[in-house]
Chains A and B, each alone.
Chain A
Amino acid sequence: MSALRKSSPLAVTGKYLALAFYLTFALFPLYWLAKIAVTPDKLIFSEGTAMVPSSFTFENFRTVLIATDFLSYFKNSLIVSLGTAAITTCVAAAAGYAFSRFDFRGKRLVIALMLITQMFPLLMIIAPIYKIVAAVGLLNSLTSLIIVYTAFNVPFATFLMQSFFDGIPKDLEEAGMIDGCTRFEALRKIILPLTLPGLGATLGFIFTAAWSELLFALMLINSNDTMTFPVGLLTFVSKFSVDWGQMMAAGVLALVPSCLFFIFIQRYLVQGLTSGAVKG
C-alpha cells in the first residue's frame, strides 16, 4: 500500500539521493577497473587519478586474449563454476524439497550438521582439505575444485532451495496427485515450473561464488594448465612489476560471464510466479 501513498517531493528526492549514493559507492570500483583497462600503459602513472583518461586503447584486451594464458584460465573457471553450480543446485534442490515436504527421523540432526559446517573459518580447514585432496591424488585437477566448492556450497544452497519450496503451497502437489499424478509427476509438472526462479537464483549465486573463489584454487592448483581465473590473474603480478593495464582488462573480461548469466536468468528471478495459486 505504501506505493499508493502520496509521498512528499522531499522524501522522493531523498530516496533517489540515497540510491544514487549507494550506486556510486558500489559501482565506482567497477568503473575504475574499466577505466584502467582502456588507459594506454604510458598514461597509467602519469594521469593515474584522472576520472577520464586523455586517450583510449584496446591494446590491453588484445594482449590479454592473444599473448597470455587468459583463455585457458577462463575456460578452466567456466568448467569449474558451471560444474559446481549445476551439481550443487541439483543436490540442493533434492535436499531442499525433502526438508520442505517430508518429516523423517534425523531431519533436525542433518539440518544442525549442515549449519555446523558453515561455522568454521575457511583458513582453519584448508590444511586438512589439502591433505585429503592430496591423498586421493586430485591435486592440480579441476575435479578437486568442483568437489570442494560443491561441498562448501550445498548447505547454504539447500536452505535457499528449501525456502523456495516452502513458498509453494503444498495444496498444489496434492491437487496434482488427486488429478492423477504420482508424487514425482506432480513434482515435475507442477512444482518444478514454479521453482524455476529459485533454481535460477541458486545457480547464479553458486556460479558467482565459484567464479571468484581464490583461496582453495590457490592451494589446490599450481600447474598453469589447470589454473582458474582468480589464480591466473595473479600471474600478471611479477616479482618486479604489476601489469595493471592487462590485469584490469582481464578483470573486465572476467565480468562478462557473470553478467551474461544474470541477464539470462533474471527473467526467472522476478517474483510472483506463484501468485494466483491460492485464494487472493
Chain B
Amino acid sequence: MARIELQSIAKSYGSVEVLRDINLTIEDGEFIVLVGPSGCGKSTLLRMIAGLEPISGGEFTIDGRRMNEVPPRDRDMAMVFQSYALYPHMDVARNMGFSLEIRKAAAEDRQSKIQGAAKTLGLTGLKERLPKQLSGGQRQRVAMGRAIVRDPSAFLFDEPLSNLDAALRVEMRLEIARLHQRLEATMIYVTHDQVEALTLADRIVVLNGGDIQQVGTPLDLYERPANKFVAQFIGSPTMNVLRAEAKGDSIALSGGTRIQVEGDVPASGVSELGIRPEHIHVAGSEAAQFSGRAELVEHLGSDTNIHVQVDGIGPFLVREHGHVPVNTGDEVGLFIDPEKVHLFAEDGRSLR
C-alpha cells in the first residue's frame, strides 16, 4: 500500500534539463498513466521513482517517508520493462521467483506464490522453459508474473505492451486492467499510446518536453484539455485546429466563415479553434456553415472518416458514425457542433 508524492522533482543530465518541477500525488491503489510523445521524459520519471536513476532535485516520498536516496531494492516496487528483461539463464519459475529467492523466502512459500502467479497468467505449463523458448506474449506474461509474485506496494510499467502485435496488445491491456481491479495496488504505467492511457487510467498525466501539461481523468482530458498540446494528443483521430478570431459572440475562421458557439466567447486572445473530428457533421445545404471537397473517404464500418479540403480554411477530418454515403470528390456541407468548440490562445492555453 503506498501513497506516492513527487514534489518539485527535476532531472538533468549534465546541463541538459530533462524534467522540470514535477508535482504529483498518487493515491494508494490508483492507476496512474504517464503519457506523452517519445523523448518527453516518461521513462526517466518512472526510473527515478524506481530508484534506477538519481533524482536531481525535489523530494520523492512514499507514505510520507523520503525515498530520494533509498536503493531500488528497498523501495518495495516491482517493475515491468519494455524489453521484459527476463533473466535468460533462468527458467520461467526461477525468473518469477527470483525476488523471493533473493529475499530468502521459504521454499514452499515461494513455490505456492509462483504457482499462483503462473495460474493467473496462464503460464502453468511453461514453468520449466527458458525465456528464449517463449513467444513474445508469453515473455510479457512472465515479466508480469515476476512483478505479481512479489506482492509489491506499487507496480511500475514502462511501455510493457509496445513490443506486442495489435491483437495481443488489446488482450494484455484487458489483463492489466483486471489485475489492477483484483490487486487494488498502486500502479504507474508509462506509454506513448493515448488509447492505452484512456482505457487503463484512473488519472492520466500528460507530459511534454519535461513538463506536466495536465493531470486528470480520461474524460477530463478529453472534454477539458488544458492546452492545445493535450487537446491534440488525447483523442483519436486528432482534433482539428484552425486559425480563428473572436468577433463579438461568434468566431470567425480565416475564410470569413462565422461559427456560433454555445456560451461565452472571450473578447480577446482567441487565436485558434479546435474541434474534434467526431464533433463536425456532414450537413445538408441549409444547415451547413461551410462546405468543401471530400479528398479521401475511409469506410471503417462502424465509422466513416472523411478528409475534407475547405478553400481558405484548410483540411478537416470529419468522423461520422456508421456508414455515410459520401464518395471521394463529392462536395460536402459541414456543421460544427457549437457546444463542442475549443478555443486556444496564442500560447496554446485553452480558453474554453
| B35: Cβ under 8 A from any A Cβ | no
B99 near A277 with CB under 8 A, answer no
In the complex, which of the residues A178, A185, A276, A278 contacts B52, with contact meaning CB atoms closer than 8 Å?
A178
Are B102 and A276 within 8 A (Cβ)? Answer: no
Q: Assess A276 versus B99: contact at CB under 8 Å? Given A180-B73, A182-B73.
A: no
Complex Cα distance, B150 from A171, in Å, reads 18
Interface string of A154-185 (1 = CB under 8 A from B): 00000000000000010110111111111001
- Please name all residues of chain B whose beta carbon is closer than 8 Å to the beta carbon of A276 when the two chains form the complex: 86, 88, 130-134, 139
How far, in Å, is B78 (CB) from chain A's closest CB? Answer: 7
- Indicate if the CB atoms of B88 and A275 lie closer than 8 Å: yes
Q: Interface extent on B, as a size class?
A: 20 to 34
- Chain A: CB-nearest residue to B152: A178
Q: Which of A176, A178, A280: most chain B Cβ within 10 A?
A: A178
B83 touches A169 (CB 8 A): yes
How many angstroms between the C-alpha atoms of A195 and B73 in the bound complex? 23
- List residues of chain B with CB within 8 A of the CB of A189: 102
Q: Kindly list chain A residues whose C-beta atoms are within 8 Å of the C-beta of B73.
A: 177-182
Residues of B within 8 A of A279 (CB): 83-84, 136, 139, 163
Find chain B residues with CB under 8 A from A193 CB.
Answer: 89
**B152 → A minimal CB distance (Å):** 9
Instruction: Specify the chain A residue showing the minimal Cβ separation from B103.
Output: A180
A278 and B102 form a contact (CB under 8 A): no
- B88 and A280 contacting across the interface, CB-CB below 8 Å: no
B146 to chain A, nearest CB (A): 7
Within 8 Å of chain B (Cβ to Cβ): is A194? yes
Nearest CB in chain B to that of A183: its residue: B71
The contact of A171 among B83, B132, B134, B139, by CB within 8 Å, is B83
Interface contact A172-B132, CB-CB below 8 Å: no
Task: Report how many residues on chain A are interfacial, defined by Cβ distance under 8 Å.
Answer: 26
B177 CB within 8 Å of chain A: no
Q: Are B87 and A172 in contact (CB under 8 A)?
A: yes
Residues of B within 8 A of A179 (CB): 73, 98-99, 102, 146, 150
Interface pair B132/A278, CB less than 8 Å apart: no
**Is B88 touching A178 in the complex (CB atoms < 8 A)?**
no
Q: Which residues of chain B are within 8 angstroms of A278 by Cβ–Cβ distance? A: 83-86
Q: Which of B73, B83, B85, B89 has the most CB of A within 10 A?
A: B85
A174 in contact with B52 (CB, 8 Å): yes
Interface residues of B in 59-85 (CB under 8 A from A): 71-73, 77-79, 81, 83-85
B139 and A169 within 8 A (CB): no
Of chain B, the residue at the smallest CB distance from A180 is B102
Complex Cα spacing A279 to B261, Å: 50
**B269: min CB distance to chain A, Å:** 47
Report yes or no: B88 in contact with A277, Cβ–Cβ below 8 A: yes
Residues of B close to A180: CB separation below 8 A: 73, 99, 102-103
From B140, which residue of chain A is reached at the shortest CB distance? A279
Question: Is B190's beta carbon under 8 Å from chain A?
Answer: no
- In the assembled complex, the CB of B227 is this many whole angstroms from the nearest CB of chain A, namely 34
Cβ-based interface call for A274 (8 A)? yes
Interface, chain A (partner B; CB < 8 A): 169, 171-172, 174-182, 185, 189-190, 193-194, 272-280
Cross-chain pairs A/B with CB under 8 angstroms, 28 sampled: A171-B85, A172-B87, A174-B50, A174-B72, A174-B79, A174-B81, A175-B79, A176-B87, A176-B98, A178-B52, A178-B72, A178-B73, A179-B99, A179-B146, A180-B102, A182-B71, A189-B102, A194-B89, A272-B132, A274-B88, A276-B130, A276-B132, A277-B83, A277-B85, A277-B87, A277-B88, A277-B131, A280-B132
Residues of B whose CB lies within 8 Å of any CB of A are: 50-52, 71-73, 77-79, 81, 83-89, 98-99, 102-103, 130-134, 136, 139, 146, 150, 163
Q: Give 3 closest A-B pairs by Cβ, nearest first.
A: A276-B132, A276-B131, A171-B85
